[in-house]
Amino acid sequence: MIKNLLKKIKNRDAKIGVIGLGYVGLPLAVEFGEVGFTVYGYDISKRKVSLINAGKSDIDDVPDEAVAKLVIAGKLIATDDYKKMKKVDTMSICVPTPLSKTKDPDVSYILSAVEMIKKVLHKEMLIILESTTYPGTTEDMILPLLQDSGFKVGRDFYLAFSPERVDPGNEKFMTGNTPRVVGGITPRCTKVAKLFYEQIINTAVPMSSTKAAEMVKLLENTFRSVNIGLVNEVAVMCDRLGLNVWEIIDAAATKPFGFMPFYPGPGLGGHCIPIDPHYLSWKLKSLNYYARFIELAGDINSSMPEYVVRRIVRLLNTGGRAVKGSKILILGVAYKKDIKDMRESPALDVIKLLEKEGAKLYYNDPFVPEIRWNKDIHRSSRLTAALVKRADLVVILTDHTQYNYQKIVDNAKLIFDTRNATKMVTRGRKKITTL
């Protein structure tokens, strides 16, 4: 039976199923479609399904043209009807895994996906979880549900975990050229899953278990969270010491060994780094272990919007102005440069805190035409010299490359740059305060 599935995958006759057509699922579906597979994408959003079937994309890294080409060729079919997934040979689960307000894992989307798979599960099917979660999820939670069907894993169906490694806006490393780790419940499961990913990527790294593969993803994002937390605290230290943190980091980065530069900012954003380490912390608490680095880094990173606002208050006070009533222009609200992704963006926290202080706020972001705060919709202001001149303070929260920073500095009264975006500016440096 395994030989038949392996042959289907090698010949690209296997029908691919993807559950969740967001930042992870849609790029994956497009990659498989572009190498010749027929892909069925399932999403609970009728709007999303209609958009994709119309040849459109709402994901930064997936152009409309790529989707349209596959839809026209019949290689990408989006649906909100689970019954249409009965015909697929593989099923990739790419659903969100958020945290509750108490920072407990919310695996409800995974459970809903597995319940749907149970209804269409058949022999010779490969199921892969890509959603980030705590170690043991695939084996302890998904496997028992699927084996309720009477099928045996490694014989009748194959189950594996392979964490997504999506970095929105990264033009160098995308789905196709980023290595994947793959861990199956059994060696056969790993073999099938490895071959599956080798159809679209250069390197698939086999792991000893699903739990090991789950831990890899959490290590990757915990590494970033902890190091960003460290450099954010160093930024606070340098402020107290009267030092420029950007100068310190650049000098340290000249060391050819033993140092890797990370950079401070107004806080963490995106769906992974602010969230994923807490999955590991939560799991360890159940084993009576307190993950100190994770909790400390989380505290520091989540406090950065408040620190940014304190710096703004101090900066305005130095110039003889109160925050209340001051006109503040926010530049950039996406969580990172050159994308429209707003998930967990620290800019929203900074905006809310400044509004509480009574500031008169307006923003510009070339990628985000409108945002919602306090139940109101606010639209991006057109970035003109007059707009910049009107502001008592310009705050750079996202360092989009589309901005002409020299022109912004030339027209601004005062700038607080949280990203060191103005480092190449030559005129008017006295107007600039960096994080």
What's the pTM? Answer: 0.91
Same domain, yes or no: 179 and 262: no
Q: Is residue 264 part of a domain?
A: yes
Cα separation, 86 vs 341, in Å, equals 33
Same domain, yes or no: 209 and 301: no
Same domain, yes or no: 185 and 255: no
Instruction: Give catalytic status of residue 272 as yes or no.
Output: yes
> Of 173, 203, 218, which residue constitutes the final position of a domain?
218
HEC string of 179-226 equals CEEEEECCHHHHHHHHHHHHCCCCCEEECCCHHHHHHHHHHHHHHHHH
Counting residues of the chain whose pLDDT is more than 70, the rounded percentage is 100
Q: Is residue 234 part of a domain?
A: no
Same domain, yes or no: 203 and 284: no
pLDDT tens for 83-142 read 999 999 999 999 999 887 777 889 999 999 999 999 999 999 999 999 999 999 999 999
Q: Is residue 226 part of a domain?
A: no
Q: Please, which pLDDT band fits residue 320 given cuts at 50, 70 and 90?
A: very high
Q: What is the model's pLDDT at position 174?
A: 81
Q: Give strand pairing partners of 92.
A: 18, 128
Q: Is residue 411 part of a domain?
A: yes
Question: Which one of 94, 189, 238, 272 is the catalytic residue?
Answer: 272
Same domain, yes or no: 143 and 199: yes
Q: Which domain holds residue 177?
A: 2-218
Q: Is residue 108 part of a domain?
A: yes
Q: Please, which pLDDT band fits residue 166 given cuts at 50, 70 and 90?
A: confident
Same domain, yes or no: 190 and 57: yes
Same domain, yes or no: 97 and 19: yes
Same domain, yes or no: 100 and 143: yes
Same domain, yes or no: 82 and 198: yes
Cα separation, 73 vs 77, in Å, equals 10
Residue 324: give its domain's CATH number.
3.40.50.720
Same domain, yes or no: 208 and 258: no
**Contact 34/66 with Cβ under 8 angstroms?**
yes
Q: Count of domains in the chain?
A: 2
Same domain, yes or no: 372 and 334: yes
Q: Is residue 223 part of a domain?
A: no
Q: Is residue 232 part of a domain?
A: no
Q: Please, which pLDDT band fits residue 67 given cuts at 50, 70 and 90?
A: very high
Same domain, yes or no: 274 and 205: no
Average pLDDT, the chain: 94
Q: Is residue 228 part of a domain?
A: no
Largest CA distance in the chain: 77
Give burial (CB, 10 Å; 0-12/13-18/19+) of 332.
buried
Average pLDDT over residues 327-351: 95
